[in-house]
Amino acid sequence: MTAAPFLLLLAVLQQTSSVEEVSSGDSGDSSVQFRALLEAGPLSFPSGTRGGEQDLFAAATPVLRLDVGEGFALEVGATLRFRLLDQDPKQKAGDYGGGLRREDWDTPSDLGQLIRELRLGREEGRFFFRAGPLTTFTLGEGHLVDRYVNQLPADYHPAGATATGYFGPFRLQVAASDVLAMRLFAGELRLDMGRLVSTDETVFDRYHVSASVAHDFGRVGEERTESITAALVGGNAAIYKGERFQLFAIAGAGSRVDVSPLDFGGFVGLSARGMRGAVDVSGRLEGRSQGGSFRFGLFGPSYELSRFSATGLSEAPLAEERLSRAFSGYGELRLGLGDAENALYFSASAAAEYFAFGRIDTDMALMLQLPGGRTRITARAIVVGLKTHPRYSLLAELRQRLLSSLYVWGSTGTVHFPQADGTLVRGFTAGAGVGVDWAR
């Protein structure tokens, strides 16, 4: 029953994807590509208990991937952690046979990690569906669900799903953070006013109104956190729209609708995008008024931790957090340089919000592929509650290809473990190893 919304969504997308192939006049590329890989190496991982020690694991990640043209991809696999050295014998007793770490597989949601990617359609097509980990998912322009990550808790490994469809002047975008549990569900319906009132293509994609809603049931296996429901209406209008540069005015208002009395918020701002050759730059600047139980970007990059402790490691959960009524300033910048298929590719994004009462939240992500395509670096830093009760999540990874089918990898970062009393324990992890892959 918990997967019913996802199954319904998948059925709709499967039906419409065939329509897209017939009606869109795509090239019809049906080439089949297959890839297999295996990564292995030692991994230092914390016990996850307050005052616990670092344990040593052997990590192995087998992966199989199938691509059929541009419209279908399936990648399955998971990281298997086998305990080699345990500082707490009681914990070892709970592992599965062979020392497989139990906490990685003790809820139905953990089975979601087997789906690394399931993709139907193309992002630029009329219908697009993707399931797997969510790393920087944004619903619409991000005023409810913004740069959301569903992988932050160390013992929770869900597969999320997102879908986007165009129906005449409407665009529908829906998402589920966990297709195997009653967790976060969100959707936005956007109306293109130009397509509604005219057949003149010069007025298309210039004026939009939208309505969005997000609800978190807060249920994963036996774990329960308080539910949250928020809704928002907004719109944008083109100030300038050319082939290489676009500038829009944006505005909207929202509220949490599951509390009484209701707390409302409003925002106004500008969004822009510039494109020239291999360079793609976009950003937003907004002024916001918010407070009480509601804030924009409520389901943000650190939400999976904030639902236990809004800031810090042992504060009130986000559902109970009440902010002072105040103005805030929000800014976001995204930069893309090059093409991932070429020798050099660089992608970076940064977002920050400053609240008048002194709090700062920020999120930065980076991906760099060096010339030759043999070296790839990724990094992420999420910080909430700066100048009040700060909490940070950090991740960095390096992959270096040595031979056509052999590469090495190394990763490090922080991990967080929710406790039975609702607080969080932060730890440190680091690992390195080798990988072999084969494709045809």
Helix (H, G, I), strand (E, B) or coil at 204: coil
Cα gap 70→17, rounded to integer Å: 12
Pairing of strands 80-85, 72-77: unpaired
Residue 163 within a domain = yes
Token readout for 38 is 């295996």
List residues bridging with 72 in a β-sheet: 68, 120
Residue 27 within a domain = no
Cβ density class 126-150: b for 16+ within 10 Å, e for less: bbbbbbbbbeebbbbbbbbbbbbbb
Amino acid at 356: A
Mean pLDDT of 51-74: 95
Q: Are 359 and 387 in contact (CB under 8 A)?
A: yes
Residue 292 within a domain = yes
Q: Is the pLDDT of residue 11 over 50?
A: no
Q: Is the pLDDT of residue 185 over 90?
A: yes
Q: Mention every residue, 6+ apart, whose C-beta is less than 8 A from residue 23.
A: 126
What is the number of domains present in the chain? Answer: 1
List residues bridging with 345 in a β-sheet: 338, 369
Look-up: residue for tokens 């009462």? 357
In 3D space, the residue among 303, 340, 5 whose CA is nearest the CA of residue 162 turns out to be: 5
When the pLDDT of each residue in the chain is averaged and rounded to a whole number, the result is: 91
Q: Are 330 and 386 in contact (CB under 8 A)?
A: no
* pLDDT computed for residue 91 by the predictor: 56
Cα gap 112→109, rounded to integer Å: 5
**How large a percentage of the chain has pLDDT more than 90?**
81
* pLDDT computed for residue 12 by the predictor: 38
Q: Are 83 and 95 in contact (CB under 8 A)?
A: yes
Q: Is the pLDDT of residue 259 over 70?
A: yes
Residues 100-128: pLDDT tens digits?
999 999 999 999 999 999 999 998 899 99
Mean pLDDT of 71-99: 83
* pLDDT computed for residue 128 by the predictor: 97
Asked if residue 390 has a cis previous peptide bond (ω within 30° of 0), the answer is no
C-alpha radius of gyration, the chain, whole number: 22
Token readout for 32 is 């089949």
Which structural domain range is residue 318 located in? 4-21+34-439
Residues 133-163: pLDDT tens digits?
999 999 999 999 999 999 999 999 999 999 9
* pLDDT computed for residue 93 by the predictor: 57
Amino acid at 125: G
Token readout for 106 is 């003790």
* pLDDT computed for residue 96 by the predictor: 80
* pLDDT computed for residue 346 by the predictor: 93
Q: Are 346 and 375 in contact (CB under 8 A)?
A: no
End-to-end CA, the chain:
39
Q: Is the pLDDT of residue 186 over 50?
A: yes
In 3D space, the residue among 187, 179, 62, 63 whose CA is nearest the CA of residue 131 turns out to be: 179
Q: Is the pLDDT of residue 86 over 60?
A: yes
Residues 265-315: pLDDT tens digits?
999 999 999 999 889 999 999 999 999 999 999 999 999 999 999 999 999
Cβ density class 191-209: b for 16+ within 10 Å, e for less: bbbbbeeeeeeebeebbbb
User: How far is residue 109 from each of residues 77, 261, 363, measured CA to CA in Å?
Assistant: 15, 34, 26
The model scores a pTM over 0.95: no
* pLDDT computed for residue 64 by the predictor: 98
Cα gap 92→85, rounded to integer Å: 9
Cα gap 183→181, rounded to integer Å: 6
Q: Are 212 and 188 in contact (CB under 8 A)?
A: yes
Residues 359-407: pLDDT tens digits?
999 999 999 999 888 999 999 999 999 999 999 999 999 999 999 999 9
Residue 29 within a domain = no
The conformation of residue 99, written as its DSSP 8-state character, comes to: G
Residue 435 within a domain = yes
Residues 219-235: pLDDT tens digits?
998 889 999 999 999 99
In 3D space, the residue among 141, 166, 391 whose CA is nearest the CA of residue 286 turns out to be: 141
Size of the chain in residues: 440
Cα gap 400→4, rounded to integer Å: 41
* pLDDT computed for residue 90 by the predictor: 58
Amino acid at 32: V
